[in-house]
Amino acid sequence: MVNAGISVANAVSYMENEAQGSQNLGFIRKDAYDHLTRLKKHTKVENGDASALLHYFINKSNTESQFYWNVQLDDDNRVMNFFFRDYRCLVDYEYFGDVLSVDTTYRTNRYNLICAPFVGINHHRQNVMFGLAFMSDETEISFEWLFRTFLDSMNGKQPETVFTDQCQAMMNAICTVFPCAHHRLCQWHINQNAPSHLGSLNGESNFKQLWNNCMSRCESEEDFEATWRFMIDKYNLSGHKWLNGMYRLRYKWATAFSNHKFSAGLLATSRSECTNAVLKKVGDRTISLYDFVRNYEKIQKNWRDNEKAEDTRCHHGKASVMLKNNPLLNCIADVYSLTVYKLFEVEFINSLNTTFIQQPSSFSGSFLEFKVKSHGENSRVRQVVFNKETHEVQCSCHKFESMGILYKHALKVFNFMDVTVIPKSYIKKRWMKDA
C-alpha cells in the first residue's frame, strides 16, 4: 500500500479496520514506521560530505587534546554511524552524568539519519549536552556500538539512570552496555502510544485515573500491584495484550519501582525532546552533516554561555529568602543554585500546609515515626522516620531519593524537631552553586 502511494497512517488505519480494532493488529503505528525504515536502505553519505566531516574531526582532535570522535563504516567503507563530543562534554558528564536522556525519534539531514543527542541536566536545571550521534538504523548492533562508544568517550563511567523511548533494540543494548544503570522508559511516549491500544477505554475517566495512578502516583510496589489488579479486574482486562506487555515492563516505567533511584525529578525524555526542538531550527532535510555539526556547536556554545551567566548570577548574589530569619532557608540559600533553592523554598512553604495526624511514636531507641498529611480531603498520609541523634530522615514518598532535595513531609518534621541545620548528606553536591 505504501509503495502504491498510500500514507503509512492510512495503511495502518485500513489494517486496524480489517482486524476489527487496533488491539487485534499485533503492532502499533510506530512499529510500521520503524519496519518501513529498516526496509529502505539508508541513503549513503556522500563522499564529499563524509570527507569534510572527518577532516573537521581530525583537525579538532589536533587542536583539542580531549576531543573525541568515532565513526562506524559499513561494508562499502561508507559512514554508517558516528559519535563525537568535546572536552566540555566530558567535564559536564563527570559532574552531571548521573542522569542521561537519549531520544532517537528525530531525523534532520539529507541522508535521513537518526539524530541521537545525549542530554543531561546541570545544577541550574538547564540542559547540558554530553555528545551527539547520527545513526543509519535502530538495530541492537548499532545501539551497542553507540553506547559502547559513548562509554569509552566518558572513561567508562556508567550513568545511574538512563531515559529512552520504548525501543526493544535500545533496551537490549542498554542492558548489555549499561548493566549498572537503571533504565527508565519515557512516560510521555507511553501515554502517546496508549490510546491506540486502549480502544473504548479512552473514554473512561475512571480507567484513566487508575492508569495515571499506576504510572506515577503509587509510592510503593505493593500500592502499584493492588491498583493494577483492581484496574484489570474492574474492566475485565486480564487478556489485554498491550497492558500485559506493559505490566511485564513495569519496572522500567512505573515510579513505584524507581522512586528510590535518583532521576533529578524527570519522568520522560523531555530533555532530549527539547534538544531536538532546538536542533530542528538549525537543520532540515537538505542540510549536510558537516553543516549540521557546525550549527550544533553554535547551539552548544549558547547553552554554555547561558550556564556561565547563571553561574555569575549565583556567585554574585544570594537568593531572596521568603522568611528572612529562618535558619533552614538561609542555610540552603548559601549553597544551592538559585533555581534549585526556589524549588526547596516551595517545599518549605508547602510544609506549613501539612499536619501530623497523631503524636509521633517512638521505636528502636532514637527513632521517631511521624504520620504527615497535607490539608485537603484527597491527600494521602506519609510516614516519616526521624533519627533524633543523627537527624537522618526517611519519608515514604521517596522524593529526596528521586529528586535530591528534601520535600515538605521531611521539612515538617525538621521544623517540629527544631532542626536548624540541614545534615550534609541531604545537600546534594550536583545541585550546589559551586557544583
- Pair 292, 282: CB distance under 8 Å: yes
CA separation for the pair 164, 138 (Å, rounded): 13
Residue 404 — left, alpha, or beta (φ > 0 → left; ψ -120 to 50 → alpha)? left
**Residue 259, SS3?**
coil
Handedness of CA 252, 253, 258, 263 (dihedral sign): positive
CA separation for the pair 155, 338 (Å, rounded): 31
CA separation for the pair 298, 344 (Å, rounded): 33
The model scores a pTM over 0.95: no
CA separation for the pair 394, 397 (Å, rounded): 9
CA separation for the pair 341, 319 (Å, rounded): 7
Give mean pLDDT in consecutive 10-residue pieces for the chain, a chain of 435 residues.
78 89 87 75 57 88 93 76 94 96 70 83 94 88 95 96 89 94 90 90 93 93 96 95 95 93 77 60 68 87 94 89 89 93 95 91 86 83 93 93 94 94 93 93
pLDDT at residue 124, rounded to an integer: 96
**Residue 133, SS3?**
strand
pLDDT at residue 280, rounded to an integer: 63
Place of cell 533555581: 339
pLDDT at residue 84, rounded to an integer: 95
345, 348, 352, 356 alpha-carbon torsion, rounded to 10°:
160
pLDDT at residue 79, rounded to an integer: 72
Cβ neighbours of residue 428 closer than 8 Å, sequence gap 6 or more: 404, 405
Directed axis angle between helix 289-315 and helix 338-351, to 10°? 60
Give the total residue count for the chain. Answer: 435
- Please give the grid coordinates belonging to residue 98: 548521573
Q: Bridge partners of 73?
A: 79
Place of cell 528572612: 324
- Please give the grid coordinates belonging to residue 73: 563504516
pLDDT at residue 108, rounded to an integer: 58
Place of cell 562509554: 151
Directed axis angle between helix 327-335 and helix 338-351, to 10°? 160
Beta-carbon-side half-sphere exposure of residue 368 (alpha carbons within 13 Å): 19
**Residue 378, SS3?**
coil
Taking alpha carbons only, the member of 7, 31, 357, 63 closest to residue 167 is 31
Residue 244 — left, alpha, or beta (φ > 0 → left; ψ -120 to 50 → alpha)? alpha
CA separation for the pair 372, 410 (Å, rounded): 9
